[in-house]
Amino acid sequence: MNQAKDKRQMILDIAARIFSRYGYGKTSLDDIATEAKIAKGTIYYYFPSKEELFINVVSEQARTFISEIQSKLDEIKGFEEKLSFFMQAPITYICNEMPIWLDGLKSIPFNYKEHFEQYRTLNRYKMLNILTGIIKEGIAEGMVSDRIMAERLCEVLNDWFLLGDLSVMVVDFEGLLQRIERDHDLIMHLILYGIVKRG
């Protein structure tokens, strides 16, 4: 890594800590510059605005998040276990590790909403691809009916259970995590087996 990349990464790392500590609205570039022991102009050299810096921080966290989800899935054997992990892990991870992502949904200025939505759409597409792969694995294992349209099922699961809908605004992280823990087993049972008694 060259010196410019090192400095850019240092700014991103410190910005992530400050945004996480104070939230998007209460964080200033002066706060980040002071913490990084650099001039504010140095931040502007790499990032033209606070909004651009914030989106870069969130994008980097999302790359790490998706990489960690995929690595964990590669270690898990079997369709049911993979689906169960995937249905719980993203929201838990976001609430615990990426609170600034959720803060950004509420706080980023209107003129950056479209840019932020493009970023969200890209990451939603990546997550849907991972989930589609899991469902297709279930079809290949004979666990899921081959009459199920994998891509459509994944869209439904994403929109209803994985907060894929932008209109869902999460402010109570602790309450959301408690709901996930409470309802996860029932949701998995409904997805995998339905409600019809068999045998």
Lowest mean pLDDT among 19-23, 54-58, 147-151, 167-171: 167-171
Give yes or no for residue 30 having a pLDDT over 70.
yes
Looking up residue 176, the CATH number of its domain turns out to be 1.10.357.10
Q: Is residue 44 part of a domain?
A: yes
- Provide the residue type at 57 as one letter: V
Q: Is residue 199 part of a domain?
A: no
* Average pLDDT estimate for 117-130: 81
Residues 99 and 132 in one domain: yes
Residues 26 and 80 in one domain: no
Q: Cβ distance 93 to 198 under 8 Å?
A: no
- Tell me the residue range of the domain where 177 lies: 50-193
CA pair distance 78, 140, nearest whole angstrom: 11
Residues 37 and 120 in one domain: no
Q: For the segment 133-186, what is each residue's pLDDT rounded down to a tens digit?
A: 998 888 888 888 777 777 777 777 766 665 554 444 455 667 767 777 777 777
CA pair distance 113, 107, nearest whole angstrom: 10
Q: Cβ distance 61 to 55 under 8 Å?
A: no
Q: Is residue 198 part of a domain?
A: no
Give yes or no for residue 126 having a pLDDT over 90.
no
Residues 18 and 59 in one domain: no
Residues 116 and 87 in one domain: yes
Specify the pLDDT at position 8: 94
Angle, to 10 degrees, between the axis of helix 113-140 and the axis of helix 150-161?
Answer: 130
Looking up residue 42, the CATH number of its domain turns out to be 1.10.10.60
Residues 73 and 31 in one domain: no
Residues 31 and 61 in one domain: no
Specify the pLDDT at position 169: 45
Give yes or no for residue 110 having a pLDDT over 70.
no
